[in-house]
Structure 1
Amino acid sequence: MEGEDAKTMNLRSELEKARAERGLWSEGDRIVAAVSGGPDSMALLHMLASLADEGKLSVVAAHVNHGFRIEESARELEVVTAYAEKLGVPCETALLDMPSYIEETRLNGQAASRERRYAFLHEVALRRGASAIALAHHADDQAETVLMRLIRGTGLTGLAGMLSKRREKNVELIRPMLRMKKSDILRYCREHGIPYCVDSSNEERYYFRNIIRLDILPYLSQHNPQLPQSLQRLAEVAGAEDDWMEKQTEALFAQLVTISPDECAVSCTGLSGLHVALQRRLIKLILSYLSQETENISFEQIETMRLAASPHAPTTWRTDAGARVRCLREYDVMRWLRLPRNELPEADDYEYEAGRDQASLTAEPSGWTFDFIREAAGLGRKPASRYEACFDASELAYPLIVRNRRPGDRIHVLGLNGSKKVQDMFVDEKIAPSERARYPLLFDAAGRLLWIPGIRRSSHALTGSRTEDVLFVRARNE
C-alpha cells in the first residue's frame, strides 16, 4: 500500500518525465487544458497548475458544455470554473446546443461533439497563443482504445492507439497521462482534495467503449489481471514501430512518387519491388495525400490496388479507391487521381478543321499542335521521326480534320494488307487508357484516317515520283 501511495504522490513527476521523454512541451510554454470536470481532467489541471505556480509553464483551462445532460452539465461547469479560480487558472467555457446541431447536420452524436469540442479548443489555443492542447486520456483509456480496434479489425497503426503527441492545425495535441492508471488518478484526487463529477453516461451500454470498459475488459482480465497494462505496452511498442515504418514510407514517397496537380503516380516495378508492408503503407500515404477522407478505405481495397501493380496483373486496369480517388494501372505506371465530382472527367469529343493554306492548328483538349508546311516535290524535307509525315497534297480532300477517336475508327496501315482498329493500335503501342480518349488523329475531308502521330501513317496520299505538291506535317505534344 505504501508503494502505491508513493506512486500516486509521484504522478506529477511522472507527468514531467513524460514531458521530457516525449517532448510534449518546453519550459515557459502556454498550454490549454481540456477539462470536462471528471477526475482525469481535474487531476491533469491540478498537475499543470502546480507546474505553473513554479513558473515552468502557463495554463488555461477550457471547458465545453455540450448541452446533453442539462443538470449534470451545469454542475460540471460550476465545478470546473470554481476549481480553476481556486487554482488561479484562467478558464474559458463554451455552451453548445449539440442536440440541435446533430439534428441539423445528421452527424453521428459522438463525432459531431468531438468536432465542435476540438474546434473550440483550437480557437482558445489560437487566441491565447498556446503551443499545445493537453488531453487527459490515461492508460485505461488507451487499453480500451486498443481493444476496440482489435475487435473491429486494425493494423499496426491502429494498435498504436492514441498518440502521446500529434500536431493538428499548428498546435500539438498532447496526452501526458497515457501511462497513468485510472486507480492512481482517483487516489491522487482524493489525496489532494480535488473535486470532480461523475458522468452518468459512462454507465450506459449504448456506447461500445462503455461495453468494453464495463464488460469485456473485466471478463478478459479474469484470464490476465495485467491485461490493461499489456494492452498499453502493446500500444507503446506498436506506436514506436509504426512511427519508424511511417518515416521509411515518407522517404520512399519522396523517392518513388511523381506528384502533379490532383495526381500521384509510381512505377509498378518500383511499387511491387518493395516489402509488402511498405507497399501497403505507400498506397495509404498516397491516398492520404490526395484525400482527407481515407479512414473508411478498407484493407481489401488497399490489397486490391497493391496486387494490381504486380508483374502478373493485367497491364491496364482501374478501380474507384474510395474517398474520391480513382486508381489506374497503365502498363508500368500506377496512377491515383483525385476526382472533383466522384467521377474521372471524361474527354468530350472534339474536332478541328485546317484549311488548305492554314499553317498550324492546336487541338486544345489533346494538348497537341499540328504544323502544315507546303513544299514543292524534290525540295521538301523528309520525316525525321514518327511525329512527322509527308503527303501528296493533290490526293487530299480539304479541309483536313484533327479529332479524337470514335468507336469503329480504323486505319489502313502502310505496309499491311487491310485495316486495323485504332483502339488496337493504341493497345499495341501501350498508349495509356486515360490518354486514348484525347489522342489526336489526322483525317481528310473524305473521312480517310491519314495519320496517328507518333504511332503510324496510313497508306493514303503517299508521295512518289509523280508528286508535285508535298504537304509536310509535324505534330507536337506540348
Structure 2
Amino acid sequence: MDQQASDREAAGGRQERVLQELLRMGAEERLWERGDTVLVAVSGGPDSMALLHALYTYAERLGVRVTAAHANHGFRPEESLLEAQGVRRFCEELGIPCDIAELHVPDYLREHGGNKQAAARELRYRFLHEAASRAGAARIAFAHHADDQAETVLMRVLRGTAPSGLGGIPLRRREEKVELIRPLLRITKPDLAAYCKHWTIPYYTDSSNYSTDYFRNAVRLEALPYLESFNGRLSSSLCRLAEAASAESDFLAARTEELFTSLVSSEKAGLTMYGADLAGLHVALQRRLIKLILDYLALEKEPTGFDEVEHIRLGALAEAPVNWRIDLSRGLRFHREYGQLKWTRRNEEPQDGYEILIAEPHGAHELVEAGLRLEFSVVAILREGDVGPAVAGAGPLTAFFDLDELLLPLRVRSRRDGDRMNPLGLNGTKKVQDMFVDAKVPPSLRPSVPLICDAKDRILWIPGIRRSTHATAGEGTRRLLRIDAQRIAPPNPLS
C-alpha cells in the first residue's frame, strides 16, 4: 500500500471515530432524548462545523432536531463577517435553521469596561440562551474536544487549583432552563480535522488562535508541545485525569448537597450550622461544605479561593477563641459564636453591633461599620532611649502600646451596656457612654464607634476619643504596637 492510500485509510478511520464516539457518548451519558431540539453553538471553526454536520447526519437516527446559533463578537470585522456568512451558507445547504447575532463586544467594553474575554463570553452565553429559547431547544451543544480538555486541566494546574478543578470542562451542566452539553470531549482535534476533510466541510480559522498573548494559546502552542517531549501521550493522560477527577467530584458534590440539606439551617440573616457537626466530617467534606455555603450566599459568581475556605475551616474548629468574626470576599461574613457557625451577607445583617478578632496585629483591617481603616504595625526598640521619639507621633488617631504587655488576640467591637475604661491621665474608670457625651459623639453614631480591646476585654483605645492606661510604653519596652486609624467613609449608624 502506497503512502497516499495509507493516509486515506487513516483519515477514513478518524472520521469514522467521530461518528462512532458521538453516538456512544450520547447514548452512555444520555446527552439528549428523542424529541429534543439541540442548538449547536457554531463559531465557524473546524470543531463546531464538524459537530453541526455530525449531529445533522444522525439527527433522524437520534430522534432530535438540530438548529444552530453563531455569534459575531466584532473583534475582527473582515474575518468575522466571512465566518458569519460561511456558517449561514453551510446551514442553508443542510437545511438547518441558524440564528446569527452581532454582539459588538468592543462597544460593550467601552461602555462597561472589564476583561475582553469575559465580556465576550457573557454576551455570547446570553445570546445562546436567547437563541435556545426562540428555537425551543432543551440543550445547547458546544464543540469543546479532548485537546481543549487537556489544555484546560494543564492551565488550572499551572494557575493552582483545588482537586475539583482537575475535572476540567464539564461534559454537561445545567444553566437556567437548558443543559449545556459537550459531545466531543473524548474526540481529538486531528480526528475532527480528518472528519472535515472527508466530508469537504468548509471552516474558518481564527487568526487570534496563534497569538501567545492569550494564556490558553501559549499553553497549547508552547507548554504542551514542550511537556510532550517527556510524555508523548500527555494530552491523553490529562483527559483521563479529568474524567476520573470529574467522576469523584460529582460523587463528593452529591454527598455535600446531602450534608447541606441535613446540617445547614437557613435563617433570615444567613445560614447556620453547629460546629460539632462540621468537626465530625472528613476534611474533604468540611472544605466542600464551606465552599457550597459561600457559593450559595454569594451574589457574585467569582470562585471561592482555597485560602478563604481553609481560614474559615481552621477558625471554626479551633479550641479558642470561641467567639470571632471575619469579613470575606464577595460581601460575605463568617461568625463563630461558641458552638454555632453562621455565614451572612454583610449588607443584609441586622445592625446590632459588631466584633472583629485580630489574632495577629499587623496589616490593615477595614471596619465598614465605623468607616475606618485600622493599620497595625510593630516597631522594634533597639535602645532604651528610642522609646520617646518612637511614640512622639501619638495623637487622636494614632496610639502606641507595649506589645509584650498586651494579651492577644485583640478585639475590635462596638460598645456594650456598662462598658468602662481606665483613661490615661485619670484615676479610676469612666463609663464609655460618658466619654461619648464628653466628645460630643452623636447618639446615632455611638454604636458604630470602635473599641479596641485585649483578650480580657479591657478597653485599650477608642480612636479619636481616649487611650487607656494599659500597656503604656516605658523604659523596658522592646516592641511597640502602633495602631493608626484612618477615615475611609462616613460611619454606618447601627440600630
Q: Same fold (TM over 0.5)?
A: yes
Which residue in the other structure is 1:126 paired with?
133
Match of 2:407 in 1: none
Summarize the Cα distance change of 1:219–1:55 in structure 2 as closer, same or farther, 3 Å threshold.
Answer: closer
Q: Which residue of 2 aligns with 1:280?
A: 287
Q: 1:198 — aligned with what?
A: 205
- Equivalence for 1:334: 341
Matched, 1:135 2:142: yes
Match of 1:96 in 2: 103
1:184 pairs with one of 191, 205, 209: 191
Report the AA paired with residue 242 of structure 2: A
Give the equivalent residue in structure 2 for 1:408. 419
1:290 CA displacement: 0.6
Please tell me whether the aligned partners of residues 284 and 302 of structure 1 are also in contact (alpha carbons under 8 angstroms).
Answer: yes
Give the aligned residue type for 2:338.
Y
Kindly indicate whether the alpha-carbon contact (under 8 Å) linking 2:153 and 2:166 is maintained by their aligned counterparts in 1: yes
- Please state if 1:115 is matched with 2:126: no
Q: What SS does the aligned partner of 2:184 have?
A: coil
1:344-383 correspondence runs (5 A): 344-347=349-352
Cα 1:54–1:268 shift into 2, 3 Å: closer
User: Counterparts of 2:59 and 2:276 in 1: how far apart (Å)?
Assistant: 56
Q: Where does 1:125-164 land on structure 2 (aligned, <5 Å)?
A: 125-164=132-171
Contact 2:166 2:246 in 1 (8 A): yes
Residue 471 (structure 1) aligns with: none
Decide which of 209, 219, 223 is 2:226's aligned counterpart: 219
**2:327 touches 2:334 (CA, 8 Å); kept in 1?**
yes
2:275 touches 2:341 (CA, 8 Å); kept in 1? yes
SS in structure 2 opposite 1:59? strand
Which shifted more, 66-75 or 15-24? 15-24
Contact 1:262 / 1:290 at 8 angstroms: preserved in 2?
A: no
Question: Structure 1: how far apart are the matches of 2:179 and 2:235?
Answer: 26
User: Is contact 2:269-2:345 (8 Å) kept?
Assistant: yes
1:70-112 per-position Cα deviation (integer Å, ceiling 9, x unaligned): 1100110111000000011011100121101011111211000
Task: Note the C-alpha offset of 1:262.
Answer: 4.3
Q: TM-score, normalised by structure 1?
A: 0.72
Partner Cα separation in structure 2 for residue 235 and residue 144 of structure 1: 11
| CA displacement at 1:294 relative to structure 2 | 5.4
Q: Equivalent residue of 1:334, what SS? A: strand
Q: Is the 8 A contact 1:32 1:59 kept in 2?
A: yes
Are residues 55 and 139 of structure 1, via their aligned partners in 2, closer, same or farther at CA, if it must alter by over 3 Å? closer
1:45 paired with 2:49, answer no
What 5-or-longer segments of structure 1 have no aligned partner?
350-403, 411-418, 423-436, 438-478
1:297 aligns with 2:297: no
* Counterpart amino acid of residue 41 in structure 1: S
Q: Do residues 61 (structure 1) and 68 (structure 2) align?
A: yes
Aligned to 2:32: 25
Instruction: Tell me what 1:239 maps to.
Output: 246
> How far does residue 25 in structure 1 lie from its aligned partner after superposition?
0.6
Q: CA deviation at 1:50?
A: 1.0
Q: Is the 8 A contact 2:14 2:195 kept in 1?
A: no
Q: What stretches of structure 1 move > 6 A for 4+ residues in a row?
A: none
Aligned partners of 2:187, 2:42: CA distance in 1, in Å?
Answer: 17
- Identity of aligned pairs, percent? 49
Which residue type is aligned with residue 117 of structure 1? R
Alignment gaps of 5+ in structure 2: 1-5, 355-414, 422-428, 433-446, 448-495
Farther-moved stretch of structure 1 (14-23 vs 83-92): 14-23
- 2:67–2:97: 8 Å Cα contact kept in structure 1? yes
Inter-partner Cα distance in structure 1 for 2:418 and 2:187: 68
Aligned-pair CA distance for 1:292: 3.8
Give CA-to-partner distance per residue, 1:432-459, whole Å, 9 cap, x none: xxxxx8xxxxxxxxxxxxxxxxxxxxxx
Aligned residues: 361
Mapped to 1, the partners of 2:62 and 2:185 lie a distance apart of 24
Deviation track 1:140-192 (CA, whole Å, cap 9, x = no partner) reads 00000000000000012110001111000110000000000001100110001
**Aligned residue type for 1:178:** L
Quick one: distance in 2 between partners of 1:192 and 1:157?
Answer: 38
Deviation per residue, 1:233-279 (Å, 9 max, x gap): 10000000000001111111111111123411111111012111100
- TM-score (norm. length: structure 2): 0.70
**Larger Rg, first or second structure (1 or 2):** 1
Conserved? CA contact 1:287–1:294, under 8 Å: no
Partner of 2:182: 175
Q: Distance in 1 between matches of 2:255 and 2:182?
A: 25
- Alpha carbons of 1:296 and 1:172: their partners in 2 closer, same or farther (altered >3 Å)? closer
Match of 2:404 in 1: none
Counterpart AA for 1:406: D
Displacement of 1:346 in angstroms is 2.5
Instruction: Report the secondary structure of 1:94's partner residue.
Output: strand
1:293, 1:303 → 2: CA distance?
Answer: 20
Q: Distance in 2 between matches of 1:168 and 1:29?
A: 17
Distance 1:163 1:312, change over 3 A: same
- Give the conservation status (yes or no) of the 8 Å contact 1:38–1:198: yes
Match of 1:373 in 2: none
CA-based RMSD: 2.4
CA distance in 2, matches of 1:235, 1:305: 28
Secondary structure in 2 matching 1:15: helix
Q: Take 2:62 and 2:223, find their aligned partners in 1: how far apart are those partners?
A: 43
The separation in 1 between residues aligned to 2:211 and 2:301, in whole angstroms, is: 30
| Contact 2:43–2:71 (8 Å) recurs in 1 | yes
- 2: CA distance, partners of 1:159 / 1:280: 16
Pick closer, same or farther for the CA change 1:35–1:244 going to 2, 3 Å.
same
Look up the SS of the partner of 2:347 in the other structure: coil
Q: Which residue of 2 aligns with 1:455?
A: none
More divergent stretch after superposition (204-213 vs 306-315): 306-315
Change (3 A) 1:329 1:348: closer
- 1:120-139 CA-partner distances (Å, limit 9, x unpaired): 10001111111000000000
Partner of 1:306: 313
Q: Going by fraction, where is helix more abundant, 1 or 2?
A: 2
Change in Cα spacing, 1:320 to 1:97, as seen in structure 2 (3 Å) is: same
| Bigger Cα displacement from structure 2, 13-22 vs 147-156 | 13-22
